[in-house]
Structure 1
Amino acid sequence: MAGITWHYVLKFIITGDAAVGKSSLLVRLTDQRFLANPDPTLGVEFGSKLIEIPEEGKIVKLQCWDTAGTESFRSITRSYYRGAAGCLLVYDVTSRASFTNARSWLADVREHADPHLTCILVGNKVDLCDESAEGALVHKRREVATEEAEQWAKEEGLLFVEASAKSGRNVDLAFEEASRNILDKIRRGVFDDDRSPGVKLSKPSNGSVALDQGTSRPGCCS
């Protein structure tokens, strides 16, 4: 689909505990592959991807900042929260602690990010507790019920989806749903595309890009 330009650039952050699969979700989005044993994120990593929202008639470029999930890097990662239009708040469905800690990550994001930011709660690693999955070598007990996470997301005004970076299940959907919500906010004037740093009307200098273009690269502190 060469010759197609994008309409908006949207800044996303990906946050949550270490080892919940944030980097794997980003690589699945940008490269359509699975990182079995990713190195811990040191500071931030960056990836970009073009996605199409057909019902909106829009193509958006996602600029995604994958943030470290350890306390020692919080002062660094908080600076990347500022101006973000979207957030993936990630937990591991087989780790109760990661779900519990999502509350403090959400509070951190809300303190430092745009007050109108769209946040989607993502329960990752559903493949680990799916006994019907063919070829699965490891099965773990689910520690966070879908209904519980969905209810908490509803109470906090978050979007919600369960996903698997390994299989790719619902990874694109998570970003698409968040992008739809942001586009709706733009349409309603919640986000000002001239002044909101996380939402930019795009004016690509070369006039065209390929729709399936995706890149992922280390950030400044990796």
Structure 2
Amino acid sequence: MSYDYLFKYIIIGDTGVGKSCLLLQFTDKRFQPVHDLTIGVEFGARLVSIDGRPIKLQIWDTAGQESFRSITRSYYRGAAGALLVYDITRRETFNHLASWLEDARQHANPNMTIMLIGNKCDLAHRRAVSKEEGEQFAKENGLLFLEASARTAQNVEEAFIKTAAKILQNIQEGVFDVSNESFGIKVGYGRPQGQSGARDGTVSQSGGCCN
């Protein structure tokens, strides 16, 4: 399957916030209620369509435990986008965001696009962090923001695609030197220039999975 660009993503955040479940919902459209703790790093990929352009997302799902932080840090390098995840039902996962963000700023390229995700919004009755707090943190730190649910798939598609749309916008505005793969962007091959239109298995930016 040919594509215009390949974007590398990293998913970060405390253990148990649903990082692996978000990835699985996005790549396989399924929810796995019982998921083993991620050891080190797991990987997923999917082709999407942004403004009619096929983009391949290569996604690294990292372990949230402190003991794996050094491994996680090595994956910041060469990531064009990051999904920073917390659990809206666990206040401590929100409190740790500043530490994760500091790591990202320190080890990633300065133009990496970061999407803050408040996961498990299907558990609103157990909410410990308000949506306004999430929005405020994102605004203060220049992040994109969505609340999502890996269980119901709400906003999962949007989270990955809006991040890709922002990266593509940055490319078009000349923020990245796309010939330098250390930015986590790779120019695709095998696709005639000027050809547009989504391929099978792609999703369009406007195609939402929920209301």
TM-score (norm 2): 0.89
Unaligned runs of 5+ in 1: 130-139, 214-222
Q: What fraction of aligned residue pairs are identical, expressed as a percent? A: 53
Q: Specify the alignment match of 1:43 in structure 2.
A: 40
1:85, 1:182 within 8 Å by CA — same for their partners in 2?
A: yes
**Partner-residue secondary structure (3-state), 2:96:** helix
State which of 111, 116, 123 in structure 2 corresponds to 1:121.
Answer: 116
Q: Specify the alignment match of 1:70 in structure 2.
A: 65
Corresponding position: 1:18 with 2:7: no
In structure 2, how many angstroms separate the alpha carbons of the residues matched to 1:99 and 1:203?
A: 40
Q: How many residues were matched structurally?
A: 195
Q: CA deviation at 1:6?
A: 1.2
Describe the shift of the 1:177–1:141 C-alpha distance in structure 2 as closer, same or farther (beyond 3 A). Answer: same
**What does 1:15-164 correspond to in 2, within 5 Å?**
15-53=12-50, 56-129=51-124, 140-164=125-149
Q: CA deviation at 1:5?
A: 2.5
Q: CA deviation at 1:193?
A: 1.1
Corresponding position: 1:199 with 2:199: no
Q: Specify the alignment match of 1:137 in structure 2.
A: none
Q: CA deviation at 1:52?
A: 0.9
**Partner-residue secondary structure (3-state), 1:181:** helix
Q: Specify the alignment match of 2:205 in structure 1.
A: none
State which of 137, 152, 169 in structure 2 corresponds to 1:184.
Answer: 169
1:16, 1:102 within 8 Å by CA — same for their partners in 2?
A: yes
For residues 27-64 of structure 1, the C-alpha deviation after alignment (integer angstroms, 9 at most, x for no partner) is 000000001011000000000011111xx331110000
Q: CA deviation at 1:83?
A: 1.2
Unaligned runs of 5+ in 2: 192-197, 203-211
For residues 41-99 of structure 1, the C-alpha deviation after alignment (integer angstroms, 9 at most, x for no partner) is 0000000011111xx33111000000000110111111111010000000000010000
In structure 2, how many angstroms separate the alpha carbons of the residues matched to 1:78 and 1:66?
A: 12
In structure 2, how many angstroms separate the alpha carbons of the residues matched to 1:211 and 1:63?
A: 18
Corresponding position: 1:212 with 2:207: no
Q: CA deviation at 1:204?
A: 4.8
In structure 2, how many angstroms separate the alpha carbons of the residues matched to 1:192 and 1:22?
A: 29
In structure 1, how many angstroms separate the alpha carbons of the residues matched to 2:55 and 2:119?
A: 24
2:54, 2:199 within 8 Å by CA — same for their partners in 1?
A: no
In structure 2, how many angstroms separate the alpha carbons of the residues matched to 1:51 and 1:24?
A: 19
